[in-house]
Chain A
Amino acid sequence: MIYKLLHDSLLILMTFFVLTLIAEGVLPGIISNHFGLYKITIVILLNILAILGIKKNADLPAENSINKKIAWPLLFILALLIFNSLLKLNIFLILTILTAILASGYFIFKVFQEEY
């Protein structure tokens, strides 16, 4: 039951984190003036560690690790946030940096997915 609840709390925390990042992107300081974003990050990390710990100890079955339906909108939001943070630069420079970030992100993801 705790394992299931941890998944729910992770979903809530991640939703909160993404919404916070979007809000901070549009209006810097709107959330971070009230409390530090590092606190959410630490709680998310602890949550993930707790899920992994329980899963390992109780030998629970793995859930579908990648949900493509959610991954694409999240990638789109990520691209928008990066674009927003570079807004004052030249448009071609922004597009180059954005492409480089997404490409390197994709290859890093591929490396993690490799099976030995």
Chain B
Amino acid sequence: MWFDLTKKVSLNKRDLKSYKVLQTSLYGLSFLTAAYLISMILFPSQFFEFSFNNSSAKSNTLTAVNINDSGKLKNGAVAVGENLSFTASSPSFFSKAVIQFELDKKSKATDMDTSKVSVRKAYRSFFYPDADPTEIENYIQARSSQIFGDGSLASYGDSIYVISDGQAMPIDSPETFIALGYDWKNVMPIDADQFAIYTKGSLLTLYSAHPNGTVFQTDTDKKYIVKDAKKYLLPADFTTIAAVRVSEKSFEIAAGCQLQKNWLTLRKYDCSLPLDQLQNMPGKDYMFDSKFSNDIQLQAINVELKRDMTFSNFNLSLNNLLKRSKENYVPTN
């Protein structure tokens, strides 16, 4: 089947033949472009990066980058035995993560061949170190006695806030709300007088950790509360609404890989981590731990989360798209 949009413009036989060939190629190319775009939507990749040369840049999408949980970066210098950890946050599901470390020109060692990287999935704050609950007994009692205790979800105007430390922290989007593991059923309306008590806190985004007072409830029915980057086990009879569901298995299930030199470049090492077994873990944070075989100086970390082109992923993507479009039209409360 051949059609001509400009019938009034006639061509000689030779030109007409060339036109038909070029026209077919043009439509073929556009079809391939459309197919590529659809594959990008159904099997997306997400890129994350961190530059040690400019650690406070907004372009750094990897969060909680630190050495030995110290919160310090030491300009990217990592010694043997030290643990470099970082987090990539995304509510989507992925099949694998490709990690790439770029060595700084100043790095004396250039060999990282036996260095290892591992990943676990959960909420970053659920991985805070355990602490003694008796330290915060008063805090827990005070929290329980308030209507809007720390970690509560309050709706005021068109926004939803998490109440924490005398602040009302707005959540930036419904996607972030769901990604943080909150439930619409647990949102309570707050009136103007009550709301005025709280100062406006920082915006909670996809990259944020849960604020103080958040309660995590595990699949084994244990409850933990988060305060000042520590996690406290709560008594079994502790009741709360707005608990975030987590899985104890998040600590056990991990994927690992060994870094190998990227043969195309001089100072880059990469490896690929399978994420299939982490897919069903609740949480938005992929937390990476890396240990190096030499004292090194890093310049940058790049992470690419990928979704493989498989039939099951295709089904999952379609279901997600349907769910998202339904959420757009059907009220959730």
Contact = CB atoms under 8 A, between A and B. Distances in A.
A45 B162 CA distance: 46
A26 B328 contact: yes
Nearest to B41: A30
B27 A8 contact: yes
Nearest to A4: B6
Nearest to A15: B30
A31 B38 CA distance: 9
A34 B23 contact: no
A4 B11 contact: yes
Interface stretch (B14-22, B200-208, B259-267): B14-22
The majority secondary structure among interface residues of chain B is helix
B193 interface: no
A3 interface: yes
B325 A26 contact: yes
Interface string B48-69: 0000000000000000000000
Nearest to B11: A1
Contacts of B40: 34
B9 A3 contact: yes
B18 A7 contact: no
Contacts of A3: 6, 9
A61 interface: yes
Contact of B5 (A11, A27, A30, A31): A11
9 contacts: A7-B5, A7-B6, A8-B23, A8-B27, A26-B328, A27-B325, A30-B321, A61-B8, A61-B9
Given A5-B26, A28-B328, 5 more contacts: A1-B15, A1-B19, A27-B325, A31-B37, A61-B8
Interface of B: 4-9, 11, 15, 18-19, 22-23, 26-27, 30, 34, 37, 40-41, 44, 321, 324-325, 328-329
